[in-house]
Every structure is written in C-alpha cells, then in structure tokens.
Structure 1
Amino acid sequence: MKSETPIHANTLPPEGKSLKEGGFLSQPKAVWAVMFACIISFMGIGLVDPILPAIATQLDASPSQVSLLFTSYNFVTGVAMLITGFVSSRIGVKKTLLSGILLTVVFAALAGSSDTIAQIVGFRGGWGLGNALFIATALSAIVGLSTSGTAKAIILYEAALGLGIAVGPLLGGELGSISWRGPFFGVSVLMALAFVAVTVLLPKIPKPKTTSKLSDPFKALAFPSLMTLGIVAFLYNFGFFTLMAYSPYVMELDEHGLGYVFFGWGLLLAITSVFVAPRIQSRFGTVRSMAVMLTLFAIDLLAMAIGTVMGSPTTVIVCVIVAGAFLGINNTLITTAVMESAPVERSTASAAYSFVRFMGGAVSPFLAGKLAEWFSAEMPFYFGAAMVVIGVVALLLRRRHLSHIDAAISH
C-alpha cells in the first residue's frame, strides 16, 4: 500500500489484501520509522519490571501498592483507546503519534522525579494516555502503510513489541542498579529519540475523508467476533500481568538478575511471534492454536505457583522465560485476528479490542498483590491460571463467531 493512502480507509482492499504487496522486508521508510518508535515505546514496558522490588523497598510500599503503577497505566490506556480514532481522524496520524510520544516523554520524566508511590501512580496514568495515542495509531499505521499485506505487517509490529520488551529489561536492570529513577528517565530520553525519528522520517499522511465518532468503538464491539477476542484478551491478561507485575517479587533476584530474566522472556516472545506463530496459524488454524497456547500458558502459571510453594525461585524463573513462547505466538494470532474480525476500520477495531483487554490489565496487577497479602505468595499464580482457562473456555464456546478469520488472513 502506498504511503499516501489514508490508513483509516473505510474499506479494506479486495479480499483483505494490500493494494500492492511486496516482500516482507521491502517496506517504505515510513514503516521503519514507526517500527523504530514502537521498539523504543515497548522498551518502556520492560524497563520498569526490574525495579519493582526496589521501588517497594525504598519507598516503603507493598507489592499491591507498587502494582498500581500498572493499574493506572493500563486503565488510562484502555479508556483513552476509545478516543484514539476520534483524535487521529481529526488531527492526522503523524500529529497523533507525535502527541502520544511527547506525553510519554513528559510523564516518564515526571515519574522519575517523584518521591512517593502516589505521585508515580498518577504520572503513570498520564504516561498511559500517551501510550494509547501512540500504540493504537502505530499499529494501524504499520498495517496501512505496509506493502506486505495485513498479516506480515502485524508480524512486523509484534517483532517491534518483542524486541522492545526484550531489550527494555536489560537497560532497566542497568539503570535500576544505579537508582530506581533511572529507568523512568531512560524511557523519557528514548522516547525523545523516537519523537525525532517520527518527525524526520514519517511523511505527512492525509486525513481520512470521514472522521471517526466517539461511538465507533462501542459499535464495533457489537460484532460478536470482535467482542469474543476482547473477552479472551481481558481474561488472559490476568495471567499476563500477574507474570509482569507480581513474579519479580518471588524470583529473589536483584535488578540485574530480573533484567536478564525478562530479557530472555522478551527474546523468546519476539522470536516466536515472528517465526513460529505464522506457521502454527497456517497449519492448525487461529482458534485451535490460540486455545492450545493459552492452555500451555495456564499450565505454566500453575508451575510458577508450585515453584513458589516449594520455595524454588529457579522454577519461577524458568517458567517466566518459557511463557514468552506461548505469549509471543498468542499475541500475533490474536492481533492478526482482530484486524480481520469485523467490517470496520482497522484503527477502530484495534481501539475497541484494546479498551476491553486493558481493563483486565488494570485490575489484575493490583488484585495479584492483594491476593498475596490476603492468602499466600502462590495464590496470584493460581488465580491467573484460572482466569486464562476461563478465557480458553470462552474462546471455544464462541468459536463460531471466528470461523471467517482464517479465510480472511489467507487471502
């Protein structure tokens, strides 16, 4: 698809194809600019993980209080997703991307300058607003500007996600060993570089002929296929954010050690999302593959719970890294399915789906910390596993609504 084509077109090209399909790596420079910014943005997620125990110790906070960093971030991100199409269709894709990046630069720096948990939680909410404006628009931009078709464009996006999440913890561990404030300032500096890259490399993209309405994401959720994927993601995010926000407390590692663990997790996520997910989807189909991957993830969470009961941090460490494979495959499968799930604009489908799934990401980190305080250290893993299993059940019970996905992806 040529770069001057509006990415918010109201209709997809015939049979879901790009207008001009090229090689996987033969992309316009605009795609690479957005992908570079995505890598840096996703580094911001992983940078924070290695410092969670340090923040709890140095600011005299409980794990559930520190988990509010994820809760405020995910809640604001989810709600803000509802306005991303409304905003980008009025000010344009490039300005929306730059606005999101700029908000992240400012609020990450403010979080690093904070002295209390409450301040960090509040500034993480502002960070979430920037994240929503950037991420939702970036996904639709890569899909719309790519010359390789929807499926391959999403693989590029997932590759950026995996690389960012993999590299982020390494940098976060290094900066966090100096001060817990370091990763926050690191995100601010990196996103400032992304701001420059998008400003210079991304051409001006014409606004769409029709503007999005605030009601569009809610209307999109009326399609059973999109709502099904949102429900599944909402449920499995309880397991995902238990891993992200709670597992650092039971691995008994310092900032460097946690950085290496989450680097391994992110690296496996990146590799499987790019090289394994397409093969599995092609051979076994989207719904079956998602059901298997999520079931394996639930089993992995159960193994983390058992490792915690046995007092074996090594078991938890291995399981966290292995989970990257299951999540990498599932992320690519479900993101690709969302893009083909309903006859609405891709940006609208992404916003509606993300609103639902991020609500799970808002509740689960805080609940994981509270479950550990109320019951036992292993209870968050048991609960996360149970929610993922319920997600699998929901997927299978509603699979008839997704019967068209594989045909749409293959064309």
Structure 2
Amino acid sequence: MASSSRSAAIGQSSTESILKQPREVWAVFFACIIAFMGLGLVDPILPAIAESLNASQSEVTLLFTSYNAVMAAAMLITGAVSSRIGIKWTLLTGVVFIALFSGFGGVSDGIWTLVGLRAGWGLGNALFVATALTAIVTLSRSSTAKAIILYEAAIGLGISVGPLLGGWLGGISWRGPFLGVATLMLVAFIGISALMPKSGGRSSARQKTSLLDPFRALRHRPLLVFGITAMLYNFGFFSLLAYAPFVMHLDEHGLGLVFLGWGILLAVTSVFMAPKLQQRFGTIKSMCAMLLMFGLVLLAMGIWTSTQWVVIAAVIIAGAWLGNNNTLITTAVMNAAPVERSTASAAYSFLRFIGGAIAPYLAGKLAELYNPHVPFIVGAAFVLVSVLYIGMSYSRVKHVDRVQSAH
C-alpha cells in the first residue's frame, strides 16, 4: 500500500524541483558522496604506494583490477540481496564492508595483501553503489531523469573532493587515504542509520529477485548494447584513472589538484550540461559525441605522453566528456528494457566493470612491455570502437529517446 502510494506521488510530482526530496534520499545522496570520495582519495597515492611497497606499476594497477573484478561479479547478487534484506540494510552492509577493508588496507604492509583487501572493498562498493542508484530513483519525488542527475551529482561531488583530501592525506602517508575512507564511511553508516526509516528497507522490493534475473535482463538487446558500450569505454576510463598518475610526474598534492579539476568538470557537466545535450540532440547522439571526444583526448595523451602539460590538461578536460557520458548512459539504461531498475542496473554494471577490471592491469603491462604511450592509445581504440558499436546498434536503442520524452 505504501509502495503504491509512493509510486503515485512520484508520477504526480515528476515536474517538481530536483531539490525537493524526502530525507531518505538525502541520506543516500550524502553517503554516495562519501563512498565515491574513496575513488579519488586513493588515486593521487598510486606512485607512492609503488615506491613504498616496492611494487611495479602493473602490480599497483591491480588495486583497481581486483576492486572492479569483484564489483562486476557482486553486481549480479545485489538485486537478490536487497530484495531479501531491504534497501537500507543492503546499503549499511556495503558501508560496513568498505569501512572494514579500507581500514585494514591502511595498516597493511604488502602489495598483494592490499590487492586482496581492495577486492573486499569492491564487494562493499557493489552492494552500496547498485542499491544507492535504485534507492534514489525509487524514493525520489522527481522524474527518473532528475533522480539520476541527483545520483550523478553525488558521484561528481565525491570524485571531485576526494583527490584534494587524498592528496593532502597522501602527503602525510600513503596509508592516510585508506584510513580516511574508513572514517568517512563510519559517518555514512551513522547518517543512513539515523535518517533512513526502517520502512525504507523493503518497501521497494515487491518480490524476491533471482540470481539469474540480471542474465535474463541481458536478453533485452538494448540493455546488452549499453552494457557492452560501457565495458568498451571503461577500458579508456580506467586506463586514464589508473595509469595517468604515473606519467604526470607530480607529487601527491599535485596529483590531487589535477584530479580535483577532473572531478569538478565531471560533476558540473553531469548535472548541468548532460540534460541540455539530451534535450537538444537526444541521448544516443549526445553519447556518441561525448565518447568520440573522450577517445580523441586519450589519443592526444598517447601521442604527447612525454609532454607534462598536455597530459595534465587532457586529464582535466576528460572529466567533462566523462561527466556528460555517465549521466547519458545511466539514464539510457534505466529506460532501456522492461525490467526492474535494480535488475537493469545490476546487469549493466556487471558488463561495465568487466572493462574496468581488465583495463588497469592491461595498461600497466602494456607500458612495461612497450612504452608509456601504448596504454592511452589502446584505451582510445576501445573507446572509439564503443562509438562504432553503438552507432551500428542505433536502430535497437533509439527508443530510449522516446521513453525519455514521455518522462
């Protein structure tokens, strides 16, 4: 009864301001900011970890690979878990896992131990991230598109603030950002516990979700197309994120400032620019344009890898194309197939993070086997292939623009 009345309220108030949200939405929003600060907090200290733990660049990139590989696999169980224990307890479980594994990472002494702990962190992040998107979209008083913008805004804020804090903490010790994430996630735990009512747990789960549901969802060709597109462009995304710190030759503070600029552009474009592109040109055409621009930026990084200012400028500019694309593709996924949003998110994220798992280690290995230019050129090639793929599949996905207009 409560669920149906909430659904009616959402339908009636889709034109309301994005800021008029119930308190449980804001609880998840602020927890998302803290969760995604974890990504930016760690990035500025990758070279310092390599030096402190006597690890190679490819070994350090495994911190992203183990994290994303476990996230990809765990995405398949998030729907089943949340439909049984509820949104609130799934979020809290994810937060606890992140806090524990990041805290243990901060006191570890070996690269392989740290890689293993990052895998546990990935499990926590999978439970939290997939459920957070579903929670915001389900509980929001705004339309699906506005709810997704709110979610992307939280991601952008977290990613933009994280590197600044990570650079500052990393300047003290590489362990600082790991311990910082653990502390911040404890704050998120308190916030969700206090602000999300118990009814926020099962109200959106009308029936238990099967572990096979995400695979069944991928039978819908549009959802499969967006998942493969994301997998391909994530090769470029994580080549930049995991390997760029090694070629900029900056200290922790410098890397923090560069990724701060990257994150600010990502946040601003995801909230303010992406909706305008969507309205004027449509989701698919805008997405292809953003991916094309991102591929060209990576190609520039691959050509002028030895020119420091070019790499720094390219990393910051890439934030704009990625911010736009993240909002566009997430919105498209939510409207791609007639399945539960949590199931669609899990299926899409499974494919997306496969690319995120392979790319970091591949980038490090390519640099060791060949030279520092190759990881960015290969990443650019994958992104450009994603543009070709979605262009070839346009007839199967163009309906998302009609669905978006109806909302």
1:230 and 2:224 are equivalent in the alignment: no
Instruction: Give the whole-Å Cα distance in 2 for the aligned partners of 1:335 and 1:209.
Output: 23
Instruction: Give the whole-Å Cα distance in 2 for the aligned partners of 1:63 and 1:328.
Output: 27
Q: Which residue of 1 aligns with 2:328?
A: 333
Cα separation, partners in 2 of 1:111 and 1:6, compared to 1, 3 Å: farther
Q: Which runs of 5+ in 2 are unaligned?
A: none
Q: TM-score, normalising length from structure 1?
A: 0.96
Q: Which residue of 2 aligns with 1:20?
A: 13
Instruction: Give the whole-Å Cα distance in 1 for the aligned partners of 2:152 and 2:50.
Output: 31
Q: Once the two structures are superposed, what CA deviation does each residue of 1:237-283 show, in whole Å capped at 9, x if it has no partner?
A: 01000110000000010000000000000000000000000000110
Cα distance, 1:18 vs. partner?
3.2
Matched residue of 1:24: which SS?
coil
Cα separation, partners in 2 of 1:301 and 1:6, compared to 1, 3 Å: farther
Output the amino acid matched with 2:381.
Answer: A
Instruction: Give the whole-Å Cα distance in 1 for the aligned partners of 2:127 and 2:267.
Output: 23
Instruction: Give the whole-Å Cα distance in 2 for the aligned partners of 1:209 and 1:144.
Output: 12
Q: 1:49 aligns with which of 43, 49, 69?
A: 43
Instruction: Give the whole-Å Cα distance in 2 for the aligned partners of 1:39 and 1:6.
Output: 29
Q: Is the contact between residue 72 and residue 351 of structure 2 (CA under 8 Å) also seen in structure 1? A: yes
Cα distance, 1:13 vs. partner?
7.2
Q: 2:357 aligns with which of 357, 362, 365?
A: 362
After TM superposition, the structure 1 = structure 2 runs for residues 3-402 of structure 1, keeping only pairs within 5 Å, are: 4-5=2-3, 18-21=11-14, 22-204=16-198, 205-207=200-202, 208-308=205-305, 311-402=306-397
Cα separation, partners in 2 of 1:257 and 1:206, compared to 1, 3 Å: closer
1:409 and 2:404 are equivalent in the alignment: yes
Q: CA RMSD in A?
A: 1.5
Cα distance, 1:209 vs. partner?
2.8
Matched residue of 2:304: which SS?
helix
Cα distance, 1:19 vs. partner?
4.8
Matched residue of 1:5: which SS?
helix
Cα separation, partners in 2 of 1:13 and 1:63, compared to 1, 3 Å: farther
Q: Once the two structures are superposed, what CA deviation does each residue of 1:167-196 show, in whole Å capped at 9, x if it has no partner?
A: 000000000000000000000000000000
Instruction: Give the whole-Å Cα distance in 2 for the aligned partners of 1:387 and 1:304.
Output: 14
Matched residue of 1:246: which SS?
helix
Cα distance, 1:307 vs. partner?
1.7
Residue identity over aligned pairs, in percent, reads: 59
Instruction: Give the whole-Å Cα distance in 2 for the aligned partners of 1:141 and 1:167.
Output: 23
Q: Is the contact between residue 5 and residue 145 of structure 1 (CA under 8 Å) also seen in structure 2? A: no
Aligned residues between the structures: 402
Q: TM-score, normalising length from structure 2?
A: 0.97
Instruction: Give the whole-Å Cα distance in 1 for the aligned partners of 2:3 and 2:184.
Output: 29
Instruction: Give the whole-Å Cα distance in 1 for the aligned partners of 2:385 and 2:114.
Output: 33
Instruction: Give the whole-Å Cα distance in 2 for the aligned partners of 1:95 and 1:136.
Output: 13
Q: Is the contact between residue 5 and residue 206 of structure 1 (CA under 8 Å) also seen in structure 2? A: no
Cα distance, 1:407 vs. partner?
1.3
Matched residue of 1:295: which SS?
helix
Instruction: Give the whole-Å Cα distance in 2 for the aligned partners of 1:230 and 1:19.
Output: 31
Cα distance, 1:6 vs. partner?
7.7
Instruction: Give the whole-Å Cα distance in 1 for the aligned partners of 2:88 and 2:182.
Output: 19
Q: Once the two structures are superposed, what CA deviation does each residue of 1:77-134 show, in whole Å capped at 9, x if it has no partner?
A: 1100000000000011100000000000000001111100000000000000000000
Q: Is the contact between residue 43 and residue 245 of structure 2 (CA under 8 Å) also seen in structure 1? A: yes
Q: Is the contact between residue 282 and residue 401 of structure 2 (CA under 8 Å) also seen in structure 1? A: yes
Instruction: Give the whole-Å Cα distance in 1 for the aligned partners of 2:347 and 2:163.
Output: 29
Output the amino acid matched with 2:94.
Answer: G
Instruction: Give the whole-Å Cα distance in 1 for the aligned partners of 2:184 and 2:255.
Output: 21
Output the amino acid matched with 1:194.
Answer: A
Instruction: Give the whole-Å Cα distance in 2 for the aligned partners of 1:351 and 1:33.
Output: 22
Instruction: Give the whole-Å Cα distance in 2 for the aligned partners of 1:73 and 1:297.
Output: 24
Output the amino acid matched with 2:3.
Answer: T
Q: Is the contact between residue 85 and residue 201 of structure 2 (CA under 8 Å) also seen in structure 1? A: no
Structure 1 residue runs of 4 or more that deviate by more than 4 Å after TM superposition: none
Output the amino acid matched with 1:5.
Answer: S
